[in-house]
Structure formats: structure tokens, C-alpha cells
Structure 1
Amino acid sequence: MKITRRHDIDWLRVITIALLLIYHIAIIFQPWAMFVGFVRSEQPLEGLWTPMSMLNVWRIPILFFVSGMGLFFAMRKRNWKQLIGERARRILLPLLFGIVAIAPLHMFIFQKFYKLPLGYYPHMGHLWFLGNIFVYVLLFLPIFYLLKHREGGRFKQILNKVMSNPVGPLLISLFFMLEAILVKPQIYSLYAETWHGFFLGGLAFFFGYLFVYSGESFWNTVKKWRWGYLTLALGLYALRYIEFALEAPGYLMALESNCWIFGVFGLGYRYLNKPSRLLGYLSQAAYPVYIIHMFVMYLGGLLILPLKIHPSLQFVGIIVFTFAVCYLLYEFLIRRVWFIRPLFGLKGKQKKSIEKALLVSE
């Protein structure tokens, strides 16, 4: 089977991680930031939370979908032993390194910011996502290889037909709605180290693989009906905002989440499926930036929040600081030092040309 690189999926991964950084910075300016382990501004910008709550229901699920899609492409050229070895190097090694050396850094800054006793302990922090992904690879790999060896079979034909209908992707949402009903998360968007986050992520990872496996039918459908999915998502968000103070019943938020995601996939497939040198660079940088962004962001808060300036300027300042320092650390340290590269999910030896690597799961 010929492998066609999907530049739109690469772009969506890069864009979603950038949005994740902005979302995390917005938390700093919420009154409850300290209670979720963030540094907190004494000058809140609570108005930021209205658009952030729109983003919140799909920012993490879409990364799980994209990770499942990435596994599809990785499987094209590898047997199961090679794939597990490659995923261990690209996911498990950075996770273990992050637990002992990266996540504790932002805890140190948190302690210094609040003038708490300094203490060290290994923990996953925001890297819980990597642990989930590695578990999903091990769980679903037998099923995915079975499907790979039966690509001309009945299941794929049925899947292709279902995904050709605009209702088809929405039917997938029934699984996510059922998860919310059974698990009953108190806060739907609380994904980190929760059973809700684990099951939701597993569903997204599994169906992300199936969407690419099904062929062009899913992508043509979401491209054609992208505005319909986004309109439905906006309507569900409006209902959540007006009737439920932003925390609607889980099954409604699950449907809203997937409608946003299908609309975003449609927009990406329509407008972003084209190569560029910038994408080649950003696609490599996204994973290391995700790993380091929390301690860089906390450092930005430590330096900028004490300044006597308007909180809006503080918000912009922390955004600029976070993106700039992450770039500098990636470009002049992580990317260039051969023995550091594998610790951040990169191949040990840097290539001079833009790397034509397959999508890597976060």
C-alpha cells in the first residue's frame, strides 16, 4: 500500500499543541489556578475563560485522535516488534526522563513562587499524556495489525460506507457519550490522570486509527460537512454556556467535543494538506516543546507576574516568553545535542534536510 503523507494531520498536531500552551497560560489568570497546581496572577482575567472553555472540551481529545492516526502511518513500514521498540524510544524514554528531570522543574518554580519549602519528587505532571499513549499502543496493537492484514475485508467496506455519510462520524460520538454516562466525570475536561481521561483517550486513539484506515471516505465527509459540524458544535456550546454555566451533562459535552474535532479535521483536510519547510521544522519541534513548556511557562510567570503592569500585558508577555524560550531551548540545545535528542523523542542524529519522519504520538 502506498503511503501518502498527510500534511494536514501534521499541521493540526502543531496548531493544537500551540493552543494547549495558550490555554495553560490562560489558567494562570484564573482565581482557582493554585488549586490545580499553577502559578496564579493576583490580577485575574476571568473573561479569558469563556473562549478557553470552548477550546477545553476538544483540545486534549483531538491530540489522542491524531496520535491514533500517527500509529496508522507508523505501522506501514514496521512489524510489531519494530513498532514497540520505536514507540518505546519515542514515547517511553521521554516519559521516564520527564518524570525525573522535567516535570519536577515546574514544581520547583511553583514552590518558589508561593514561597513553599523546596522539595523534589519524581512525577508525571503534564506528561501523563505520554503514559496513556504508550498503554494504548500496547492494548490496541493486536487489533490494528489484524485490521492491517484484512484491509480488503468486510469490516473496512462497512466502515467506508458508514463514514461516507455525514451521520457516520456522529455515530462514533455515541461511544464517547456512553463513556461520559458510565464514568460520570464531575468535570468533563478533567483528563489528567483520571479514568475518564484514560477511557476517553482510548476511544479517541482507537477511532483516530480507524478514520485513517477507512480511506478517503471519512476525510471527504468531514471536508464537505465541516461547517455543519462546526455549527452544531457552536450550538451545543451556546446551550452549555446559557443553560449549564459551561458544565453541561457529560454526554452533551462529548457530542460537542467531537463536532468541534470533525469540523477542525474538515478544515485541515481542505486547507492544510500541503507541504512546507516551515511545517517540516515545526512538526519536529512540537513534541519537545510540549515536554518543556510547563516549566518555561511557570518561569515566565515567576518573572512577569510581579511586574506592575496590566494583566492583559502580563498574559501577552508570558505567551511571548513561553514561545520564545521554548524555541531557543529547542533550536540551540535539544535539536543540536545528539545525546539530548532521544530524551525528547527525536532521533539521535540530526539530519541536515527536513526530516521526513512519520507522525509521532505525543
Structure 2
Amino acid sequence: MMDNRRYDIDWLRVIAIGLLLIYHIAIVFQPWGVFIGFMQSPESLESIWIPMSALNVWRIPLLFFVSGMGVWFAIQKRNLKSLLLERAGRIFLPFIFGLLFIVPIHQLLWQHYYNQDMAWIPGPAHLWFLGNISIYVLLLSPLFIYLKGKEGSRVKIWLQRLFCNPLSLFVLAIPFVLETVLIRPEPYELYALTWHGFVLGFLCFIAGFCCMVGGETFWPTVLKWRWVYLGTGIALFLVRLIAFDLKGPEILLPVETLHWIFGVFGLGYKHLNRKSKVLHVLSQAAYPVYIVHMVWLYLGTYLILPLEMPVGAKFVAVIAFTAVGCFTNYEIIRNLNWLKPFLGLRNLKKVKGQADFKNAKVVNI
């Protein structure tokens, strides 16, 4: 049987979550980390802010793109009701569980570290992403199911014609630029619990789905022009760094975002679309690791920051502690069937033999 699974999309999701973990750890070593709820190192590593800024404009939008692509795969074998039920179990249930049982742990660690009164402050913290995705699925699934039933529709034909042209990126950029101009986010990279993050994620989610609908031309185009897209993204970042001290300009930030994403898609399609035992493990672990990583990050920070070590060594130590803690946690979770649904894991025995679906699935976070 032909394997239709898109391993490159799986890899990009894993890589994006890995970058998310490193990015969150890097915040601990910035002079403003405490102001957004992170424990803050007394010594800073401000030099790492430049590569962080290059990642910042595309790492979260990329995850929203991939999540929209995941819905395209999910609807191939589902009607509207089964899609909503499946997404509720995969996204909304872990969101609620994390909000009630994961987020309070790292809140309490932060409060204890800073000698504050212990109190639960309701809020999604890093799980805001899952809350947004839950809303997008609820709002857009009827439209997506409708489009699935319109094989050969004008929308699909138009998208395929659009993506034939490498300049299609600039057409796709129009709503993204309008969002930035109208909402005027400050800063652009502040996605969590903001209208900017919600609307930008909504646009990326739709765009990811549309990329799959027009995939017959989209993927060959990003493959052919990947270096142009990536080079333009780097050039726009350098302009932002040198001329604008990383602050803007607003009208170019979403254009930079899309160039990075299209370039990354092209590179992934070229080099990552192949089966791998490592990918199998990482792809299964990525979702629960994302859900629990802040607990291990905060615990590692709590234990390591007070130690007498060079600041660079502390940074590496927190990364290692967080990674080991997360994967140890994953090994425990995957052996507890009752806990799996709350942390986004399927019982693989239940889907064994469903080859067509397994080959098509892309896990959505």
C-alpha cells in the first residue's frame, strides 16, 4: 500500500515545538523575563535575543499553519459531527485538563520562588494556543467540510492557479498586512492572549488549510522557490535588525513571516518527507511534551538558577533538565491508558489496522 503520510509536516511540527521549548528557556535569561511570568536569571544572555527575534515572527504562525493542514487530513475520513468530536477530544480536553492541573503547578513554583502568597490564578498560560485552535475548529469546520465536498470547485481551482505563481505569497499576505495595520500589535511577536495572536492564528489556520486544498501546485512552488523565500525572509530580518532595531516596520513584518514559513515548507518538503524511527518517537511525544514542558522548565529554573555556575552553563543545564523531565514524563504517560486522552495521546491499539487514516493523519496542536 502506498504511504501517503506527510512526514515533512510531522517533522516541522516537532521542530517548531522544540524551538518553542528553547525559546521559553531563553526568556529566563532575558532582563524582562519576570514581567511575563518567567523566573528571571540575575545574569542575562542578551546576545541570544537576536536569533530569538529571527524565530519569533514565524515559529508560532508556523504551528497555526500546520494545525490548519492537520484539519485537512482529519476531514478526509470524517463528517462534521465526527470531526468536531475528534477535535474536542484531541484539543479541548487536554486544554481543560492542562488549565486545571498543569498550569497551577508552574504558577505555584513561580510564586514560591519569589516568596509570594500561594494562590491559583485561573488562566491558560502557554496553553492559550490550544484554546485558540479549539475556537477555530468550531468556527471553521462547517466551511472546511463544505469545501471537501466540492471536489473540482472554483475555490480549489482558484487556489491551484494562485499557488502556481511564486508571487502568490504576496496575495496571501494581504489579509495578514491588514491585520497588522488595523490591530497595531505592540510588539508584533506578542501572540499569547491578545487579539493580534487570535486573528493572526485564525488567518494562519485558514491559510494552512488552503495550502493543502491547492497542494497540487503549492508544494511544487515552495519546493522550487524555497531559497528565494528563505533568502527574502533573512533579508527582511536584517533590514528589521539594522534599520529598525527589530521594531518593525509593521507593513513588512507579516511579509517576513510568510517568507520564512514558505521557505521552511519548501526545505521540509525537499529534505524531511521520509519515514524515520526517530520521527515516530518524537511525533508521538511532541504534544504531551508541549503540554507539560512549562512544569519542568520552571522546576529546572527553580533548582538551577541559585547554583554557582556561569550563566551559559545554567542555560544549557535548564535545557537538559527540561528535555529529560519532559521525555521521562512522556514515558510515564504513554503507559497509562487512563491518562493518555488528557494529554493528547491516542490509544494506538484502537486505531491499529486503520491504515488509510494512519497514513494521512497529522497531529494538530
TM-score band, normalised by the shorter chain? over 0.9
CA contact (8 A) 1:165 1:221 kept: yes
CA contact (8 A) 2:90 2:344 kept: yes
Aligned to 1:346: 345
CA contact (8 A) 1:339 1:348 kept: no
Structure 1 residues 156-305: aligned runs within 5 Å: 156-305=156-305
Aligned to 2:145: 145
Structure 1 CA distance, aligned partners of 2:32 and 2:349?
42
- For 1:48, the aligned partner's letter is I
Aligned to 1:359: 362
Structure 1 CA distance, aligned partners of 2:340 and 2:176?
36
Q: Is 1:335 paired with 2:334?
A: yes
Q: Normalized against structure 2, the TM-score is what?
A: 0.95
Identity over aligned residues, as a percent? 51
Runs of 4+ off more than 2 Å: 348-357
Structure 1 residues 27-38: aligned runs within 5 Å: 27-38=27-38
- For 2:362, the aligned partner's letter is L
Secondary structure at the residue paired with 2:193?
A: coil
1:353 CA drift (Å): 8.0
1:297 CA drift (Å): 0.3
Structure 2 CA distance, aligned partners of 1:344 and 1:15?
19
Q: Is 1:306 paired with 2:306?
A: yes
Matched residue pairs, number?
A: 360
- For 1:106, the aligned partner's letter is H
- For 1:146, the aligned partner's letter is Y
Structure 1 CA distance, aligned partners of 2:330 and 2:212?
30
Structure 2 CA distance, aligned partners of 1:326 and 1:37?
20
- For 1:160, the aligned partner's letter is Q
Structure 1 unpaired stretches of 5+: none
CA contact (8 A) 1:127 1:291 kept: yes
Structure 1 CA distance, aligned partners of 2:159 and 2:351?
41
CA contact (8 A) 2:84 2:141 kept: no
Q: Is 1:53 paired with 2:53?
A: yes
Structure 2 unpaired stretches of 5+: none
- For 2:345, the aligned partner's letter is L
- For 2:340, the aligned partner's letter is R
Q: Is 1:85 paired with 2:85?
A: yes
Structure 2 CA distance, aligned partners of 1:3 and 1:71?
19
CA contact (8 A) 1:21 1:293 kept: yes
Q: Is 1:102 paired with 2:105?
A: no
TM-align CA RMSD: 1.7
Structure 1 CA distance, aligned partners of 2:241 and 2:215?
36
Residues 319 and 350 of structure 1, relative CA distance in 2, 3 Å threshold: farther
1:341 CA drift (Å): 0.4
1:195 CA drift (Å): 0.5
Structure 1 CA distance, aligned partners of 2:213 and 2:220?
14
Between stretches 249-258 and 334-343, larger displacement belongs to 249-258
1:122 CA drift (Å): 3.1
- For 2:13, the aligned partner's letter is R
CA contact (8 A) 1:169 1:218 kept: no
